């Protein structure tokens, strides 16, 4: 007697996004089932990985991270090229930490110049992230979007206080948006509604419900993502069907355990990898990561779990 796997049928589907141009473009999302359950529905695209670099030398990064890259971190275009050629991620994420008022307070012109250097240095799709200072991100995003015009990039992170500026910049320059909400399914949905009501297409919105690290609130974030995926797939809620981005590196590498250098493999590598895999299990579609070895661990694990 043959065994038939019991299957759930879902009425909803995650929107499939395309970023970048030509043969280097990348598709994200598009699944009609929960993570890795390929026997129940379609998963046309495996989870994507973006590796993070910064516009200025990241003094506050943990030593195990800085030792991987060395002095190349002082040259943003060289760092971008290194990541593309050596780590081979799906995308590159440029975080403009130097624009934060409490850091170098770099201007919009300086930020745009950095974006242009990175755009010219790489062929893979680009994610442009502000410093998460709402007012400063609002100030710089238009020029940064213009610097990458025509590249079909992703800009972020739009929040309720500045989403109209982000929507205008993304629309005029042909980019997608990462919409950031504060660990609340209703706030996430509301921001998506506000963006679409402003005229921005739902097919160009990525959701970021905020991430947290293993042992530092990840369980709550995990449950928020699960509830979003349930609403998207089982309840066919169109305002919940955007691909989810998890900004893992910044969270995993700021916890005290990640700075431990006494182990053979830096503790931060495992902290980032386990946190990343947890979010993929919840329903994340794209990760923003830092350490090359953590990227390799996730890439190998995903390839083993993804059964066509």
The answer to the question of residue 244 being in a domain is yes
- Spatial CA neighbour of 291 closest among 306, 263, 271: 271
What does the pLDDT look like over 289-305, one tens digit per residue? Answer: 999 999 999 999 999 99
Query: What would the pLDDT profile of 224-251 be if each residue is shown by its tens digit?
Result: 999 999 999 999 999 999 999 999 999 9
d(CA 273, CA 252): 9
- The domain total for the chain is 1
Least confident range of 46-55, 161-170, 214-223: 214-223
Q: How confident is the model at residue 5 (pLDDT cuts 50, 70, 90)?
A: confident
6 domain residue, yes or no: no
Structural domain containing residue 233: 46-305
Residue 308 has pLDDT above 70, yes or no: no
pLDDT band (50, 70, 90) for residue 260: confident
Q: Is 67 inside any structural domain?
A: yes
Give the pLDDT of residue 262. Answer: 77
- What are the phi and psi torsion angles at 53 (to 5°)? -130, 170
Q: In whole angstroms, what separates CA 107 from the centre of its chain?
A: 24
Q: Kindly state whether residue 145 falls inside one of the protein's structural domains.
A: yes
Question: Which range is least confidently modeled, 180-184, 221-225, 254-258, 270-274?
Answer: 254-258
Residue 126 lies in a domain: yes
pLDDT for residue 192 is more than 80: yes
| Averaged pLDDT score across all residues of the chain | 95
Q: Could you give the C-alpha distances from 253 to 66, 157, 272, 282, in angstroms and in order? A: 11, 20, 7, 21
In a domain, 16, yes or no: no
Domain membership of residue 95 (yes or no) is yes
Taking CB atoms within 8 Å and a gap of at least 24, the contacts of 74-80 are: 76/114, 76/117, 76/118, 77/117, 77/118, 77/120, 77/121, 78/121, 79/53, 80/53, 80/117, 80/118, 80/121, 80/122
Domain harbouring 228, CATH code: 3.20.20.20
Q: Does the global pTM surpass 0.85?
A: yes
Asked if the structure places residue 10 within a domain, the reply is no
CA distances from 240 to 180, 194, 206, 221 (A): 13, 13, 10, 16
How large is the greatest C-alpha to C-alpha distance in the chain, in angstroms?
70
> Is the confidence at residue 265, as pLDDT, over 90?
no
The yes-or-no verdict on residue 209 having pLDDT over 90 is: yes
């Amino acid at each position: 007697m043959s065994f038939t796997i019991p299957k759930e049928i879902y009425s909803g589907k995650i929107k499939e996004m395309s970023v970048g141009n030509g043969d280097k473009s990348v598709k994200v999302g598009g699944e009609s089932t929960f993570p890795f359950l390929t026997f129940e529905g379609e998963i046309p695209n495996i989870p994507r990985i973006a590796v993070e670099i910064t516009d200025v030398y990241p003094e506050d990064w943990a030593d195990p991270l800085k030792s991987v890259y060395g002095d190349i971190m002082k040259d943003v275009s060289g760092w971008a090229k290194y990541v593309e050629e050596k780590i081979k991620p799906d995308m590159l994420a440029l975080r403009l930490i130097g624009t934060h008022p409490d850091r170098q307070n770099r201007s919009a012109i300086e930020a745009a110049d950095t974006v242009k250097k990175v755009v010219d240095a790489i062929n893979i799709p680009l994610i442009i992230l502000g410093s998460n200072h709402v007012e400063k991100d609002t100030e710089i995003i238009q020029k940064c979007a213009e610097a990458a015009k025509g590249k079909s990039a992703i800009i972020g992170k739009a929040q309720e206080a500045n989403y109209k500026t982000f929507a205008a910049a993304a629309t005029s320059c042909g980019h997608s948006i990462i919409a950031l909400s504060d660990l609340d399914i209703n706030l996430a949905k509301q921001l998506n509604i506000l963006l679409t009501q402003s005229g921005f297409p739902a097919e160009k919105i990525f959701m970021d419900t905020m991430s947290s690290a293993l042992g530092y609130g990840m369980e709550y974030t995990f449950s928020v993502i699960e509830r979003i995926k349930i609403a998207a797939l089982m309840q066919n809620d169109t305002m919940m069907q955007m691909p989810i981005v998890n900004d893992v590196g910044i969270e995993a590498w700021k916890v005290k355990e990640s700075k431990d250098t006494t182990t053979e493999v830096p503790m931060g590598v495992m902290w980032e990898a386990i946190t990343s895999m947890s979010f993929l299990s919840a329903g994340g579609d794209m990760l923003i990561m830092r350490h090359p070895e953590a990227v390799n661990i996730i890439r190998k694990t995903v390839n083993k779990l993804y059964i066509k």
